[in-house]
Copies of this chain bind each other. A is one copy, B any other.
Amino acid sequence: MKKSLIALAVMAAAGAASAQSSVTLFGIVDANISYQRTSGGEKNTFLANSGYNSSRLGFRGTEDLGGGLSASFWLEGALANDVGFGGSQATGFDFRRRSTVSLAGGWGEVRLGRDYVPTFWNMTVFDPFGTNGVGSNIGHKVKLDGGTAATAGGIVDPAYVRSNNMVQYFLPANLGGFYGQISYAFDETPNTAAGQQNAGRYIGGRLGFASGPFNVAAAYGQTDGQETFASPDVKNWNIGGQWDFGMAKLLGVYDRASYESVGVDNDLDTWLIGGLIPVGAGEIRLSYGRSKLDTAGGDPRTSQWALGYVHNLSKRTALYATYAHVSNKDGANISVGSSLQNRVAGLTNASSSGFDLGIRHSF
């Protein structure tokens, strides 16, 4: 997800004394033709977005405050460029991918606003398909979709990918390979509210170590719900890693999430292993993953394998093709489509397969 920069000379309105800083306009427009079908007979072809990288438009910048201190902002919104809307298929453009303001120094960074939660980083960084397109991490599909409430327990984690209202601290870059963050989101629920007074509160953290070809990270996060079936307490931890052998990169991630409420005690286990193999100007991508949801009514299971190829026309522009096959059993009903908008319906105990053919252009 390299992004090209527009470096702009910024002159403070009040004059020449201010330090040179930069504001960057950046984005990705990714479109693909996605053909998908299920063993239940449904077939469909879509013009979809974000098959390789998530389509986006953003503005960000950093100001050097002197003495090692800097302030920065980041405003980034999703693009459903197949239909011209913002993040979902039916709403305008917003900055729900990230909207933050930060103060950073040698001691690290304090960041305020909406952003990814710690656990999501492992789900996407250690997935060869980056949680995008038909090849996306099967755990990602299960979590986004939630499955049918009747059979799969109606998993709902509002802070699976991002959270509003966060205060985060990030470790500085110079810790000999260690990196990490702690993240807290205010629940903003009044203490006088009936029921769960912390509903919406998120607490999480991530710690990783990267050195040479090696990178591993573990993360934990929990969200307080409203203690109802549809809004359980969620506890989530995962661990992921990769090893770059030069001729190939091996990746893997294991994720466990618990959903607890009155009469609900579901556990979702999901893992994947995958690889990235450089081939000339391109890269072969492959993964295999499984998920199991432990519920009182049964243990729906899903597995997936995916194979893809990315051909880089330049650093900014790539063509890609991905094939994936999803199998459901024991009541699972996950579709091969990674987007709620552009996918065939998930059918109980059915399999589905999909093929993305697309272009990713970044700026």
Q: Among B27, B82, B314, point to the contact of A114 (Cβ < 8 A).
A: B82
Interface size class on chain A is 35 or more
Which of A8, A10, A98 has the most chain B CB atoms inside 10 A of its CB? A10
Judged by a CB distance under 8 angstroms, whether A73 is at the interface is yes
Q: Write out the residue numbers on chain B whose beta carbons fall within 8 Å of the beta carbon of A72.
A: 361
Q: Among B86, B97, B190, B342, point to the contact of A188 (Cβ < 8 A).
A: B342
Q: Write out the residue numbers on chain B whose beta carbons fall within 8 Å of the beta carbon of A85.
A: 94-96
Q: Are A84 and B73 in contact (CB under 8 A)?
A: no
Q: Among B27, B43, B86, point to the contact of A92 (Cβ < 8 A).
A: B86
Q: Write out the residue numbers on chain B whose beta carbons fall within 8 Å of the beta carbon of A109.
A: none
CA distance A45 to B285 in the complex (A): 45
Judged by a CB distance under 8 angstroms, whether A166 is at the interface is yes
**Residue of chain B at shortest CB distance from A113:** B81
A→B interface (CB under 8 Å):
2-14, 18-19, 21, 23, 25, 27, 29-33, 40-47, 57, 59, 61, 63, 65-66, 69, 71-73, 75, 77, 79, 81-86, 91-101, 103, 112-114, 164-167, 185-186, 188-192, 313-317, 342, 344-345, 358-359, 361, 363
A sample of 18 inter-chain contacts (CB < 8 A) reads A3-B13, A4-B10, A4-B11, A4-B21, A5-B12, A12-B315, A29-B73, A30-B101, A33-B167, A40-B192, A42-B190, A44-B190, A47-B113, A63-B361, A77-B84, A81-B114, A84-B113, A112-B359
